[in-house]
A and B are shown apart, each in its own frame.
Chain A
Amino acid sequence: MSHPNTLQEAAALAGEIEQRLNQVLIGQQQVVREVLIALIAGGHVLIEGVPGLGKTLLVRSLGKVLELDFNRIQFTPDLMPTDVTGHAMYDQKTEQFRIRRGPAFTQLLLADEINRAPAKTQAALLEVMQERQITIEGKAFSLNEPYMVLATQNPLDQEGTYPLPEAELDRFLFKVMIDYPDHGDETRLVNMVLDGTIRSSLDVESLTPATDGAGVMAIRSLSDSVLIDPEVLDYALRIVRTTRDFSGLSHGASPRASIALARAGRVQALVEGRDFVTPDDIQQVARPVLRHRIQLSADAEIEGQTPETVLGRLLDQVEAPRQ
């Protein structure tokens, strides 16, 4: 199994992973790129999109290509926190309490329709996401790295849902919007299913691993050495700070967003095969980093603006850095 030692090798390996994922997930190059960046940067992803666009397929493929454990939890209104993290149960034979580990003990956790569960259950994920550990009956269990939560939510059918609290939203590195593939990609997808190149079900057996968890950790480690110029870092900070006082926004992004933007910018540069970050890298990752961390003002919502349009305006207005 290949483990990169240099930035060039890391970039090549990231490209290989991306290419294999794109073989399975047709027409979602941007989604694949953003999920890969989040994984390398050690973040979690909130995926928003209508059902049937391959969210589960993406996570399964990721698990297969990276040889990572994968679990899926379907969030429902009656899901309890212990159903996610696990619990201690009394074993009558040994007359002792035994820890029963929940599905969160994995490496890739797909939290499907996370907003269907009440706040208490959603909060159970907070510790998992932030501390990378799970505490059961006072005993903390560390999780294996790399660890990533991919939560999904459906933009439609919002009745009976519990919107994610801001504290939890802030813990997602990216919010990725998954949309329908364009006409050409959808045609290619249908043709591939019809001629048997791929199966219509969640078939990831044909995928071969490109690396393993250690490989991912190696890429993550190498991404820390990507150079970020002070002007570029300042540009990232200016973008985040502008969200706090920008027309159309009632609530801006936290300092955690600044860290996320810089970190994601570095990985973006690495995936592009560069060992330095450009302002363009920051722009590329600004939308997924910020779109769930800002809140539109009432006026902007009435006018029909969306976080995308406001962020587009904001990125246009924040002056690019100069050297």
Chain B
Amino acid sequence: MELEKASARLAPRSPWQAVDMGTQMFRRWAWPTVRIWLAFTLLPFALLLGLASYQESWWPLVLFWWLKPAWERPLLAWYSHALFAEELSLSQLFKRWKQYALPGLIAQLTWRRLSPSRSFNTAIWQLEGAQGDQVGQRHQVLHRAPSTRAGMLTLVMFHLEQFMGYGLLALVYTLVPWQFNLEMSDWFFEQSVLQTAIASSCLYLVLCITEPLYVACGFALYLNKRTWLEGWDLQLGLTRIGKRRKPAGVALVLLLGLLALPAVEPAQAGNSNHEDLHVEQQQVIELLASDDYMPFETRTSREWKDRDQDAQDSSWWQKLWEWFFDDLEDQMDSAPNKPFQIPDNLIWAVFWALFAGIVLWLLLKVSSQLGFSGTRRKAGHAIPTHVAGLDIRHHSLPDDIANAVDSALQQQDIRTAMSLLLRVSLATLLREYPVPLAAGSTEQHCLRTLQREHGNAAGIEVLKPIVNAWVRTAWAHRPVGEDEVRGLLNQWQALRFVEVAHG
């Protein structure tokens, strides 16, 4: 890699500045990259769209989406050459396809397909040609903190794709004449073939923009990480100095000096002088092995790692206070004219608390919508304690119903007798045939629900005249005759006797 040929300034940047550089790369080479995207994907997309329309299925289009890592390979190949002043032609890209497209492609299309760092990782396979264990080691090195933000880039791009896609779709639906009878609302429920084709084409058009941009940004993040790790900016600077200060011996000395810099990490084996490295490694090993370097000590108590004694002594709220307001003092010092300065940490704490609250609220909302909340209906219906205002709990009923009814009848209290009979029948039936009842359920509603859920079982058949007699007694103020109450009681007792006899 000839870094001096790079058409972008290779300097250590923050991840978002690197993404900005990727955006600039896309803006500069927008047409060539879009052309490459179209050359490699238009035909497959058209075929898959045709298949999707023919089969009235979404699967061919899902397949196109799934193969995105494969479609991105030519773009990365082109960017990686274009940055170093070599613009590949389409025919060259087609000819070299096997070389750059196949390494690691199977992994990217299977277990690594949903990796959020795809834009970044593709370079490890495609540009470095890493294989087997090397891939894992390179991942470890390149993904070391600080974060590359490749996952965040994917998230942002995903949203950009969705917004642009739906925006374009809405525009199309707005412009389509009404005679075509296209309703945007139908799109969410049942789509015709035409609607599927329109939606897919809109998404494809959006991808023509977002995919080259996504690959460029991922590539820029990759370059940035390597610049940080391998000091490409220093290397370039020293090279330039070396060129100015000929003879070449001076440059060589400076280059050796660069290799000796402690902050510069050799991210790729084989690029430096092996003998010098060997000597330095020996020195480091001896230093690490000496007793003076971080002597071992044995501790038996449990304690937090990397926490000094002072921190352990202070309570949690003191630490929180310091965390919130230590920065404020610094900020007040630096900006004395802003008396209402709010500490950054406090803003972040509020932000995260709000975020967590919203997520929790959404989860609760979704779970209640799906019926997963704590009020989930139990497998069996709970036996109600009251039906139509009548207490049907076991302990509220007399042990000997026949005697209690008899005694009420002797006192000419038909209402009490009927009430007892109804309560005991409901209590017994609802234990045997549980049904969902609410506080507003009336006697007749209870009867209808029992009939609907359990048919005309013998007990339910007996309940019917009891409810009718009770309704007449309670709401028409026309108590049924004593004989009728006794008859209903006998029917009920006979039924219970038969049930008990049958076990």
Q: Is the CB of A323 within 8 A of B415?
A: yes
Q: Is the CB of A278 within 8 A of B442?
A: yes
Q: Is the CB of B440 within 8 A of A283?
A: yes
Q: Is the CB of A321 within 8 A of B477?
A: no
Q: Is the CB of B438 within 8 A of A323?
A: no
Q: Is the CB of A276 within 8 A of B476?
A: yes
Residues of A within 8 A of B415 (CB): 323
* Stretch touching chain B among A160-168, A214-222, A310-318: A310-318
Contact of A278 among B439, B444, B477, B478 (CB under 8 A): B444
- A319 proximal to B (CB < 8 A): yes
For residue A277, which residue of chain B has the nearest CB?
B475
Chain B min CB distance to A239 (Å) = 9
For residue A228, which residue of chain B has the nearest CB?
B475
Residues of A within 8 A of B471 (CB): 278
Q: Is the CB of B477 within 8 A of A319?
A: no
Q: Is the CB of B475 within 8 A of A319?
A: no
Q: Is the CB of A322 within 8 A of B390?
A: yes
Residues of B within 8 A of A277 (CB): 475
Q: Mark B358-402, 1 if CB is under 8 A from A, else 0.
A: 000000000000000000000000000001111000000000000
Q: Is the CB of B476 within 8 A of A275?
A: yes
Q: Is the CB of A317 within 8 A of B442?
A: no
Q: Is the CB of A318 within 8 A of B475?
A: no
Contact of B440 among A275, A276, A278, A318 (CB under 8 A): A318
For residue B476, which residue of chain A has the nearest CB?
A276
Q: Mark B420-448, 1 if CB is under 8 A from A, else 0.
A: 00000000000000000011111111000
- A320 proximal to B (CB < 8 A): yes
Contact of B475 among A229, A316, A317 (CB under 8 A): A229
Name A272-323 residues within 8 Å CB distance of B. Answer: 274-280, 283, 315-323
Chain A min CB distance to B55 (Å) = 31
Q: Is the CB of A320 within 8 A of B475?
A: no
Residues of A within 8 A of B390 (CB): 322
Chain B min CB distance to A152 (Å) = 25
B contact residues, total (Cβ < 8 Å)? 21
- A249 proximal to B (CB < 8 A): no
Name A248-284 residues within 8 Å CB distance of B. Answer: 274-280, 283
Q: Is the CB of B438 within 8 A of A317?
A: yes
B442, B443, B475: residue with the most chain A Cβ atoms closer than 10 Å = B475
A contact residues, total (Cβ < 8 Å)? 21
Q: Is the CB of A320 within 8 A of B442?
A: yes
Known contacts: A280-B444, A283-B445. The answer to whether A317 contacts B477 by CB under 8 A is: no
- A210 proximal to B (CB < 8 A): no
Q: Is the CB of B476 within 8 A of A316?
A: no
Residues of B within 8 A of A150 (CB): none
Q: Is the CB of B440 within 8 A of A315?
A: yes
- A232 proximal to B (CB < 8 A): yes
Residues of B within 8 A of A283 (CB): 440, 442, 445
Q: Is the CB of A278 within 8 A of B438?
A: no
Q: Is the CB of B476 within 8 A of A323?
A: no
Q: Is the CB of A316 within 8 A of B442?
A: no
Residues of A within 8 A of B495 (CB): none
Known contacts: A278-B444, A280-B445, A283-B445. The answer to whether A319 contacts B474 by CB under 8 A is: no
Contact of A319 among B389, B443, B445, B478 (CB under 8 A): B389
Q: Mark B472-495, 1 if CB is under 8 A from A, else 0.
A: 101111100000000000000000
Q: Mark B433-471, 1 if CB is under 8 A from A, else 0.
A: 000001111111100000000000000000000000001
B390, B441, B472: residue with the most chain A Cβ atoms closer than 10 Å = B441
Residues of B within 8 A of A279 (CB): 388, 442, 475
Q: Is the CB of B389 within 8 A of A317?
A: no
Listed by A's residue number, 28 A-B pairs whose Cβ atoms lie within 8 Å are: A227-B476, A229-B475, A229-B477, A232-B475, A274-B476, A275-B476, A277-B475, A279-B442, A279-B475, A280-B443, A283-B440, A283-B445, A316-B438, A316-B439, A316-B440, A317-B439, A317-B440, A319-B439, A320-B389, A320-B443, A321-B388, A321-B389, A322-B390, A323-B389, A323-B415, A323-B419, A323-B474, A323-B475
The 5 closest A-B pairs by CB, nearest first: A322-B389, A316-B438, A276-B476, A323-B474, A280-B444
